[in-house]
Amino acid sequence: MNKGQKFESAMKEFLKLLLRDIFEGQNKGYTLSTEPTVQGTGTQYGRDITVEWSYEGANYYWWLECKNHNKTISKKEYADKILESLLKQKKPTCFCLVATFHGPCNWFRERKDELDKQKFRRPNIFFWPIEGPQGIKKALQCYPSAYEKIYKPEETYPNEEEKKNILSEIKKFIIINNEDGLRKLGKKRQKTSQMVSLQSPEKESFVSHEMIEEVDDISKQMDQI
């Protein structure tokens, strides 16, 4: 396994654990639609990893491009990836560039501001995390098994309180960027299905009495209302 494959493997593991931890499980508005998937050689079409999930009525359809080498990421290395993401019929809500050791060249930083001002429909394009390689290193330390696929083992890793704070900031960052991506693509949040028990005092305010059938819960009826 080469360096790039190690990074992709680490990110795949990291993303699966990260999403589970920061979005609190399927019973609280989170559903993992497609687990983090590393694209096969020759079939990447502009990304290394894809992952899809939904949370509180919003779809998250993310592409990630991973760079794991000891030099600044040049314009040529990811400009074509960005273009590829713009051309797809099913666009991601976010196109994310991640690197382990060196961030993007000045070209990306300069063009990023210009891209954000454009009116054409496109995913949100950003370098994640905003701290660059040191940020992803810090984030990966929350999951030592993923971290040690790329870096040398540390003597200590974040304690539970430190991990909680790191993940809280990541959650905010992910939600904000996805909202920006949905807005740029002209998409709206989906209407979430609500679970309302017939025994609940809230049922009358949720739907008129005439439309309630005598069933244990009425969530399956919501699409017809």
pTM, whole model, 2 decimals?
Answer: 0.75
What is the location of CATH 3.40.1350 in the chain?
3-184
- pLDDT at residue 192 is higher than 90: no
- 3-184 maps to which CATH number? 3.40.1350
- pLDDT at residue 177 is higher than 60: yes
- pLDDT at residue 146 is higher than 90: yes
- pLDDT at residue 168 is higher than 70: yes
Transcribe the chain into DSSP letters: --HHHHHHHHHHHHHHHHHHHHS--GGGTEEEEEEEEEPPTT--TT-SEEEEEEETTEEEEEEEEEE-SSSPBPHHHHHHHHHHHHH-SS--SEEEEEESS--B-HHHHHHHHHHHH--S---EEEESSTTTHHHHHHHHTTSHHHHTTTSPPPS----HHHHHHHHHHHHHHHHHHHHHHHHHTT--PPPPP---BTT-TTHHHHS-GGG--SSSB-GGGGGG-
pLDDT digits (tens, 9 = 90+) for 62-90: 999 888 777 777 777 777 777 776 677 67
